[in-house]
Structure 1
């Protein structure tokens, strides 16, 4: 709000909007959508519904990608690592440069 990047929807009396447009545009770029008093709320709901759907789709895609990544690592025998490996998950372990689990020798070095 208060920048040219913001946009504000207005509806209702068009003459009142035009008379006060200079002051209203200080809040952001104003758009008059029609004479019905509730029309700006309808437009706002439509925009927010689209935005919420896009965010839900994005987070669903991220969750599927993460699950696929973890499943592919589990199938290769690579233990879970990082901040997402918590209680109930495979505990972090050592991984060889080739991606598989390391075997420890008696001296503690990796093979």
Structure 2
């Protein structure tokens, strides 16, 4: 029984170090900001810094759905490119099975692309 517990000791040590580091990365910046005085808001600290002018609408205003659709399509095609690199590198080892699997994946992706194109999802007005 002691040998089984000894096998889990490295995992427990790893979890302890991970918990300690994650806590330090969360708590330490808050403590440093309190000690340096950067937590005290002033008018300069609360000024607009991203666009340079005050917001003219509610920050919870809805975006156009096309923005989200284009973002999702970008992620899908970006992931497709990320799948192609390891497939191309290991094509010799995976053989014809891997080739047919990727062709099926690409066919499904092309069908999705054609569907999005026909629905007008790629047109930005």
TM-score by length of 2: 0.28
| Larger proportion of helix | 2
Q: Which structure has the highest strand share of the two? A: 1
| TM-score of the aligned structures, taking structure 1 as reference length | 0.31
Q: Which has the higher contact order (CA 8 A, sep 6+)?
A: 2
**Higher Cα radius of gyration:** 1
